[in-house]
Amino acid sequence: MSDRQKKVDRYLRAANIGTAAAIAFPFLHIAMGTVFLGYEDGDDLIIPALLFLAAITYLIAETYSIFYVFLRRKTDEFTLAMFHSGTTYAFFAAILWLVLGGYVEIFIDGMVAGEAYEAAKADGVNLNEIEQVESTDIIGRFAASVILAAFFIGFQIKRIRG
C-alpha cells in the first residue's frame, strides 16, 4: 500500500469517527439529561461516571476528527471534494437552523408547557398560580452539533456517491 493510500485511509477513518460522534451526540445528550435530572444524593455514581466518560470520549473523537479532516483535506482531489461537500451542507444547515430553530424551540416549549398544564390541571392546582418558566435556548445549545452533523452527512454522501 502506498503512502498516499495510507493518508487517504487515515483521512476516511477520521471522517468515520466524526460521523459516529455526530450520530452519538443526541443519544448522549438525552441520556445525560435523563440521568442527571433524576439524580438524588446517595444514588450510585457508576452511571453518571460512565456518562461523563462517554462525554469526554465524544469530545476527543469529534475534536480529533474535525482537526484531522480540516488539516488533511488536500490529500487528493477526492478528499478535497468530500470536504467541500461537507462544508456546503454545514453552511446550509447553519442558515436553516438559524431560520427554523426558533420554530423548533417554540414547538418544544409548547409541548413542555402543555404537559405541565395537563399535570397541574389533573392535580387540581389553580392555573393562575403557575409561574412561567424561561424557555430553553435550543438554537444556541444545539447549533454546533447540528452543523457538525450536517458537515459529516454531506461528507459521507459525497463519499458514497463518488
Give 87's contacts (C-beta < 8 A, 6+ positions apart).
151, 154
pLDDT of 133 reads 61
Cα 10 to Cα 69: distance, rounded to the nearest angstrom: 9
Q: Are 110 and 61 in contact (CB under 8 A)?
A: no
- Look up the pTM and report it: 0.74
Q: Quick one: residue 124, left, alpha or beta (phi over 0 = left, psi -120 to 50 = alpha)?
A: left
Q: Is the pLDDT at 94 greater than 90, yes or no?
A: yes
Q: Are 147 and 94 in contact (CB under 8 A)?
A: yes
Q: Output the pLDDT for position 42.
A: 63
CA neighbor of 85 nearest in space, from 75, 97, 96, 73: 73
pLDDT for the residue 84: 93
Average pLDDT over residues 89-115: 85
Mean of pLDDT over the chain: 83
Q: Which pLDDT band holds residue 4 (cuts at 50, 70, 90)? A: confident
Instruction: For residue 8, give every residue at least 6 positions away whose Cβ sits within 8 Å of its Cβ, in sequence order, or none.
Output: 75, 76, 78, 79
Half-sphere exposure of 141 (CA within 13 A, CB side): 10
What digits encode the pLDDT tens for the residues 30-72?
A: 888 777 777 676 667 787 888 888 889 988 988 888 888 888 8
